[in-house]
Amino acid sequence: MSTDLPNSEDTTLLKAAHTARNEAHAPFSKFYVGAAVMTSTGELFSGCNVEISSYSLSCCAERVAVFKAVSAGHTELVSCAVVTDTTPPASPCGACRQVLSDFSSNLRIVLSNTGGDVRITNLKELLPHAFKPIEVLNKLNHGN
């Protein structure tokens, strides 16, 4: 994980993620998260975490943003920003990492907190051995 300075696209994503974080629904944990993804066509989709009293039914901000992009017809992502109030900035959970990996093999990840700390990484660093359904299907189809 690096402390590189964010580029202009990162800054745009971070603003969208900060805005989304303001809408987070986290009445139990008080852990408010905002996320934004950028598609290969440059469109932005943001999301916030939504907690439900039955925790397993809750949804993380990253997945909300991805699902909004996909529901609008976008399946190729190039970057994702996540904003929390933790120090250091929190990275996506394992489930979100897997969801993100289905839409990009090496997604740029920009992590930030409400204090302005920024960390830049990528999905291959966070999830080096992601499950890829296409690999499994190829093995099944070719008998390997």
List 62, 76, 125, 135, catalytic entry: 62
- Report which of 2, 4, 1, 12 is spatially closest to residue 78, judged by C-alpha positions: 12
- Report which of 39, 106, 25 is spatially closest to residue 74, judged by C-alpha positions: 39
- Distances from the Cα of 80 to the Cα of 22, 84, 87, 88, angstroms: 17, 13, 19, 17
DSSP H or E run through 76: none
Question: Has 9 been annotated as catalytic?
Answer: no
Catalytic positions, please? 62
